[in-house]
Amino acid sequence: MSSNDHKFVQCNEKDEETLLFFKKGINHSSHGKISTWLTEKYCCAWEGVHCDNITGRVTELDLHDQNLTATQHNITHTSNLFYLDLSYNPYYTSLHMDNLDWLSPLSSLKYLNLSGIDLHKEINWLHVVATLPSLLELQLGECNLNNIIIGPSIEYLNLSSLVTLDLSGNNFTSQLPNWFFNLTKDLTYLDLRVNNIHGEIPPSLQNLQNLRYLDLAYNQLQGSIPYGIGGLPKLSPNAIEVDLSNNSFSGSIPHSWKNLKNLQIINLWSNRLSGEGLVHLSDWAQLEILNFGENEFSGTIPIKMSQNLAVVILRSNKFEGNIPLSLFNLSYLSQLDLAHNKLSGSIPNCVYNLTQMITISTNQYKTLAKIELFIKGQEYSVDYFNPNRTIIDLSANNLSGEVPLELFQLVQLQMLNLSHNNFIGTIPKMIGGMKSMESLDLSNNKFYGEIPQSLSFLTFLGYLNLSYNNFDGKIPIGPQLQTFNASSYIGNPKLCGSPLNNCTTEEDNDKSRGHEDGDSIRESLYLGMGVGFATGFWGICGSMFLIRKWRHAFYQFVDGVGDKLYVTLMVSMHVQDPEM
């Protein structure tokens, strides 16, 4: 029903009085939904309020994110209410409730979201929830709840109708009791992430026969992964996500996990798991996000894998062998992180088939899967996957050879890290076409040649590391390249220019050496000519002066030459002038 339709529904008088009483006991923003209450004739037209079109009874109350604080009155008398959302009002003003007893009369309630409300004084919350026979979805995330175990009678509570349970971000400091998974067998969604739950997962988890979404991330769980997860009949064919990241699980992945045929997201980041972790990768044909980073998995990366993969994170494991060509043929892949393994070989030319990194995605799909990204040398956690966030990180492996030109044609790539390998070759000029590049790390390789001027065209570049290679020449001048400090370029002995020390070019050095060599040669030549002339002159003249016979012979020779010159001159003149 549209909001305009509700304007013509006459609100139940008792429900309207209850809402106005609730308003008096709560502080609210002057621009929020509650500020519209009383501005219309009927309460069914108030913002955040929805009514049954026939009875006029209030059925839905949505006041999430409305800056509500200090509630003093409840909404007990809106007995037909089946949807209530008071979640995520500002944490710093702390909308708090001392207890939840006021919920008990709301027997029609199906959806309850109190996430972000301070409930640290409420110790019987689970008992109260058990009094709501129609409740399908319960969200109490980040409520400062202290404990799951509330007395010995808790195991007899009945929450059989519950389908969704979100208790994430609380302060549970206990183990998961075995009875916890007996509260309801119809649960499809269970979120217990970001708590302090420790110990092992109890075997009773396999009682959740309809479970499709399981998130136990960011706890202190340990031991092996229960075999029963892969044996859950509904989880096996229908599972969407399994997230056990940031715990202390050890051992290998159970063989039963091959039954998770329709798994879309699997996150085992940061545990102590070992063995050949990817043996079931070919069984997960619908997989979109694979995060096995920060474990001790070994073996090779299989050739066969889901064509739907958009994220592959295998960093900080012990995988070895070549990177399979099939991994570079995934057209949806936008985030590839294989850093800190023992992979060898080279990057194949088919890397150009990563079309998600060439064109801007029109796919607006986002998932709430938490993903760990390493950008600009730092780790970041994001709460959802964005297909337009493009990353390739192959750092700290044993890869070698020249980087194919096709890699530099991935014009939508935002982060490229090839550091700490054995790559060779030059940086091609076409790198200037990678206009989306924000972080580039080619350090600790064997690249050589000059840094192309086109690198300065990357105006979004916020992190650059070309250190410890064999680059030479002068660092190009551009709006970006001089903004990085010297650490981005050190370890290249023949590289110079800002921000490194100013340098004289090789050509100037050659010219300088040439002038010096020329001057030296001319000085030697002149000196040699002088010495030779003096030696020849004094050798002849000195001999004639000292030896009389030589002296008389020289004089006779000179007189003879003079007589011949005179006769020749006179004959020539007579020929030219006969009258002479």
- Structure confidence at residue 508 as a pLDDT band (50, 70, 90): very low
Task: Check pLDDT > 90 for residue 58.
Answer: yes
For residues 190 and 213, the answer to whether their CB atoms sit within 8 Å is yes
Is residue 300 in a domain?
no
Mean pLDDT, residues 220-243: 76
Least confidently predicted of 161-170, 222-231, 462-471, 533-542: 533-542
- Give the span between the Cα atoms of 98 and 93, in whole angstroms: 15
- Structure confidence at residue 62 as a pLDDT band (50, 70, 90): very high
Is residue 30 in a domain?
no
pTM score of the predicted model: 0.80
Q: What is the pLDDT of residues 304-316, one digit of tens each?
A: 999 999 999 999 9
Return the DSSP state at 168: -
Q: What is the pLDDT of residues 351-371, one digit of tens each?
A: 999 999 988 765 545 455 556
Is residue 527 in a domain?
yes
Predicted confidence at residue 234, as pLDDT, reads 54
- Retrieve residue 401's tokens: 């050879």
Is residue 572 in a domain?
yes
Predicted confidence at residue 36, as pLDDT, reads 79
For residues 356 and 333, the answer to whether their CB atoms sit within 8 Å is yes
- Give the span between the Cα atoms of 374 and 396, in whole angstroms: 13
Helix (H, G, I), strand (E, B) or coil at 82: coil
Beta strands in 328-461 (DSSP E): 335-337, 342-345, 371-375, 378-382, 391-393, 398-402, 415-417, 422-425, 439-441, 446-450
Range of 518's domain? Answer: 504-539
Q: Which residues are bridge partners to 440 per DSSP?
A: 416, 464
551 & 577 share domain:
yes
Handedness of CA 252, 256, 261, 265 (dihedral sign): negative
Predicted confidence at residue 567, as pLDDT, reads 43
Predicted confidence at residue 521, as pLDDT, reads 41
Which residues lie closer than 8 Å to 337 by C-beta, 6 or more apart?
A: 293, 312, 313, 314, 315, 373, 374, 391, 393
Predicted confidence at residue 29, as pLDDT, reads 62
- Give the span between the Cα atoms of 336 and 407, in whole angstroms: 13
- C-alpha radius of gyration, the chain, whole number: 43
* List of long-range contacts for 448-453, beta carbons under 8 Å, 24+ apart: 448/424, 448/472, 449/473, 450/426, 450/474, 451/427, 451/475, 451/476, 451/481, 451/495, 452/427, 452/428, 452/476, 453/429, 453/478
Is residue 297 in a domain?
no
Predicted confidence at residue 7, as pLDDT, reads 56
- Give the span between the Cα atoms of 198 and 173, in whole angstroms: 7
Task: Check pLDDT > 90 for residue 564.
Answer: no
- Structure confidence at residue 517 as a pLDDT band (50, 70, 90): very low
- Give the span between the Cα atoms of 257 and 241, in whole angstroms: 13
Q: Look at the chain and report how many structural domains it folds into.
A: 2
Task: Check pLDDT > 50 for residue 549.
Answer: no
Is residue 105 in a domain?
no
Exposure of 232 by Cβ count < 10 A (0-12 exposed, 13-18 middle, 19+ buried)?
buried
Predicted confidence at residue 185, as pLDDT, reads 81
Highest mean pLDDT among 352-361, 431-440, 557-566: 431-440
Task: Check pLDDT > 60 for residue 5.
Answer: no
- Structure confidence at residue 269 as a pLDDT band (50, 70, 90): very high
Is residue 532 in a domain?
yes
Sheet of 446-450: strand order equals 198-199, 220-224, 248-251, 272-275, 296-299, 318-322, 342-345, 398-402, 422-425, 446-450, 470-474, 494-496
Predicted confidence at residue 32, as pLDDT, reads 74
Is residue 437 in a domain?
no
Mean pLDDT, residues 496-512: 65
- Retrieve residue 209's tokens: 């026969």
Least confidently predicted of 60-64, 479-483, 544-548: 544-548
Predicted confidence at residue 233, as pLDDT, reads 56
Question: Could you tell me if residue 456 is left (phi over 0), alpha (psi between -120 and 50 degrees) or otherwise beta?
Answer: alpha
Q: What is the pLDDT of residues 99-158, one digit of tens each?
A: 888 898 899 999 999 999 888 888 888 888 988 999 999 999 999 987 776 555 566 677
Exposure of 152 by Cβ count < 10 A (0-12 exposed, 13-18 middle, 19+ buried)?
exposed
For residues 226 and 207, the answer to whether their CB atoms sit within 8 Å is no
Predicted confidence at residue 413, as pLDDT, reads 95
Average pLDDT over the chain, rounded to whole? 81
